[in-house]
Amino acid sequence: MSREDASDLMEKATEAADDLYRIRDTYFPSDPNDKINKLQTLSQIALNLLDSIPPEERKLPTQRATYEYLKGKILDVFPEYTKKAEDHLSKAVKLNPSLADAWLCLGNCIWKKGDLPATRNCFNLALSKGPNKRILSQLSMLERRMAQGVDNQEEIVAESIKHAKEAIALDVKDGNSWYNLGNACLTCFFVTGAWDHGKLHQSLKAYQNAEKDESMKSNPDLYFNCATVNSYLENYERALSGFEAAGLKDPCLNAAEEVEKMVNLFNKLDSLLKGQIKAKRLASLASSLTEVRLNPLYKRATVDNLLDGLNKTIAIVGKVLFFVKHENITPLYYLVCDSNQICFVLTVYSINSDAIKEGDQITLLDPNFRNNDFSWNGKRYQFRSVRVDFVEQVHVNGKPVSPHHSVRSSIYAQHKP
């Protein structure tokens, strides 16, 4: 075999390895076993192609390094850790320490067995060969994983955002880099206390930039994560559309279940709001609310006086009619009536379910108001809602809510091999 023929085979094996990873990242059949079977078949074809290169054409250290790298990369396409893949990739970086892609693959392989410090070392060694958007994105993702359960979470997530932005600076049109930044901002929102909605909006903007890249249209996690942010921001219709799109791209995601949970909740709210709460009972409950004394710094208002968004130095007094049970942990939903006998939905974040109970009289400070009006599958949902993000925003039966009722939600962007 001529040197040109051997070089051509190596090029074809490289393309076969790249195709394997494209299938891994874009093929989502309803049965996950179909994907594994397809990867097994194609990986064997790629390995056969690689092994058809004569031994004398892979004797030089650089040739041998490329061969070992491709072999390790092909073997590592599956979700589980394989020692064979690590061994081949380790040989590749020993033979050619300047092979950045081999360091990146070795890091990804080691990550699967849970050795995060060794993974970081591989990524840093890969980066030392020169700036690379894929390596920076993987390092950013790893840092979010390393932030879980440690004391300096915020510091590590800040590093994750920094590396995500560095990846974008290298290619501002790369959708994967924007997607990674969106995940980093979403994680940052939760580790810093889940109060700064600016971080959620940054996350959403990054996801929207990611969607402009055609290659990201096949990424179901992008649509799922974007829907998660919209759900947290109570952009309900966008959240439903996003979860539906994610579920169509990957039936194995629990996106369809998320849609079902949300629709069940909205139907329950709709039913309660349209239910016949007796006028006498409402009048009786509302009559006592006008007597509630407020902090002089706040102006008393009713729900129909509120503007969309945050209403600073305004206070709403209401009576809790129902605690609305649903299938997600956060937020808590209540049906409340104000002193004008107007019923509205109260959504409560960062406070546990023991703090507010049915029958309680509540005062909501600086209420964040939204007039919801959207349709899904031909049904229209209309309801007023007030959002509470901090214990300091609520007084129950005339008393501030104790800080021990405060809880923190958390979401981390996971590594998906």
pLDDT in tens, 80-95: 999 999 999 999 999 9
**b vs e for 352-377, b when ≥16 Cβ sit within 10 Å of the residue's Cβ?**
eeebbeeebbbbbbbbbbbebeeebe
What is the full per-residue pLDDT of the chain (417 aa) written as tens digits? Answer: 566 666 788 899 999 999 999 999 999 999 999 999 999 999 999 999 999 998 888 889 999 999 999 999 999 999 999 999 999 999 999 999 999 999 999 999 999 999 999 999 999 999 999 999 999 999 999 999 999 989 999 999 999 999 999 999 999 999 999 999 999 999 999 888 888 899 999 999 999 999 999 999 999 999 999 999 999 999 999 999 999 999 999 999 999 999 999 999 999 999 999 886 766 677 777 777 877 788 899 999 999 999 999 999 999 999 999 999 998 878 999 999 999 889 999 999 989 999 999 999 999 999 999 999 999 999 999 999 999 998 999 999 989 998 888 887 655 544 443
Give the number of other Cβ atoms within 10 Å of residue 33's Cβ.
8
**Measured between alpha carbons, how far is 210 from 323 in angstroms, rounded to an integer?**
38
Which residue type does 61 have?
A: P
Query: Which SS3 state, helix, strand or coil, does residue 65 take?
Result: helix
Q: Mean pLDDT for the chain?
A: 92
Which residue type does 328 have?
A: N
Structure tokens at 182: 């969106």
Q: Are 102 and 92 in contact (CB under 8 A)?
A: yes
CB < 8 Å & 24+ apart, contacts of 27-35: 28/220, 28/249, 28/250, 28/251, 28/252, 29/251, 30/251, 30/252, 32/252
Q: Which residues contact 361 (CB under 8 A, 6 or more apart)?
A: 288, 289, 292, 317, 318, 319, 320, 396, 397, 398
- Bridge partners (DSSP) of residue 320 are 336
**b vs e for 70-92, b when ≥16 Cβ sit within 10 Å of the residue's Cβ?**
bbbbbbbbbeebbeebbebbbbb
Q: What is the pLDDT of residues 258-305, one digit of tens each?
A: 999 999 999 999 999 988 676 667 777 777 787 778 889 999 999 999
**Measured between alpha carbons, how far is 387 from 309 in angstroms, rounded to an integer?**
9
Closest CA to 349 of 309, 393, 319, 316: 393
Structure tokens at 31: 């049965």
